[in-house]
Structure 1
């Protein structure tokens, strides 16, 4: 077992602070229908993907999955002034671009934050930003990690043309509750799919409804492929994030039961005495 932090079993609240792909919506250069609507009414406006975990352990304090360049705006929108720890999926800019701002916030508060990530991801981050260690403790989580009543495991997944990423699975043994976060993946083999089985909730990245680009140039599942994956994995619920400007949240795509697009501010409560929403 990896590092441990004490805590009592309880419900965990998940809140989506951002649900966009790497470029955000609207694209500054784009005048498509979705980007126009995002500028005018904001329903499709979305920041880079990030998930807030509240109640992960009894000590309190916010935990995030990923820290992209929209971190400051997301914190302001969520009414948060500090974050205790961050889990990092991979070292692409849209997932780590906010670490510099977080480090500065930690410096101002006179305390160090904690970032958990696989060892190879930490090495990549510190190769680019070696001074981040002054205000962030980077902790490898290649072995299972225990935070409160949750056991957290990560595993490497195909990120297509963009190399690799990591997914995270959370298990609360006392309530037999499991959920997983897999924001950047495509073409998962059976071994990579295995930890996604038996989950009450799976959060999966999908850039397009049906991506038009050649498969060898792609890096994330599309929605039609996610539908097939849902049929195979049969999670209690499948929420789609990492959405490009191809996805119009005002449109009815006829998604199957148990599947939905994640919108900014969407919450789910899992584990403890909470009933799934």
Structure 2
């Protein structure tokens, strides 16, 4: 499977429209730190691509990879930075006189229906509380703490032949022992870590910072780790300065990873 990082940003993206910090200024000048809302493009041989989350930058992200359509998507939760692109996607399907498919746990689908009741005319919704298959990969969702923002879902991908496994967990904090179990010993952990070191009180937060992410990666014995969902606190041009272990990297827009 090949993963392409369409977006690696937090809920506000980078640059922040109001901000003149070093990272936001650089993002405007050269684009190294320009980040769209977090999303992945998954490709498996002989299968249609699978989108993972569909935020407000969906149209820009599709243009960036030269794609005119997508037929299926996984959704982690119904916050705007993960679903706001569904309206444009649905309208695209309407113009092309086609339907596409959304896969998510039932409570996520019900929230999407509440917010965008019309998209189901074009985006057929499938409950995957009991998992789903994508080629030879089995995909398992589980509910994770999202701090002050309630809940999200993480996804574990298990290859049914070669034993490879990887996890996508973009929006989580204060995971319980039980919620950490599916992350154990995976080949790749893609984890949301908005800040390098977040100074705010824990009860006001919703996503791990990089220091906490490193601790979680060590606890789960993940063989490779990629931090995503990055805020304007993180400068991807300074990744070496953060003294990350060799198996931990920062996600960059357009980055491709082979599983």
Per-residue CA deviation, residues 223-265 of structure 1 (Å, 9 max, x unaligned), is 0001111111111101000000000111121101210101011
**Cα distance in structure 2, aligned partners of 1:42 and 1:152:** 33
SS at match of 1:175: coil
Match of 2:246 among 257, 262, 277: 257
Match of 1:204 in 2: 191
Q: Give the TM-score taking structure 1 as reference length.
A: 0.91
Match of 1:163 in 2: 150
Contact 1:178 1:199 (8 Å CA) reproduced: yes
Match of 2:33 in 1: 44
**Cα distance in structure 2, aligned partners of 1:250 and 1:263:** 10
Per-residue CA deviation, residues 161-212 of structure 1 (Å, 9 max, x unaligned), is 0000000000002010100100000000111000011210000000100001
SS at match of 1:250: helix
SS at match of 1:166: strand
**Cα distance in structure 2, aligned partners of 1:63 and 1:38:** 28
Match of 2:210 in 1: 223
RMSD between superposed Cα atoms in Å: 0.8
Match of 1:112 in 2: 99
TM-fit CA distance, 1:131: 0.9
SS at match of 2:190: strand
Contact 1:62 1:82 (8 Å CA) reproduced: no
Alignment of 1:40-189 (within 5 A): 40-55=29-44, 58=46, 60-189=47-176
Q: Give the TM-score taking structure 2 as reference length.
A: 0.98
**Cα distance in structure 1, aligned partners of 2:127 and 2:214:** 33
TM-fit CA distance, 1:129: 1.0
**Cα distance in structure 2, aligned partners of 1:25 and 1:269:** 26
Structure 2: tracts of 5 or more residues without a match: none
**Cα distance in structure 2, aligned partners of 1:134 and 1:173:** 34
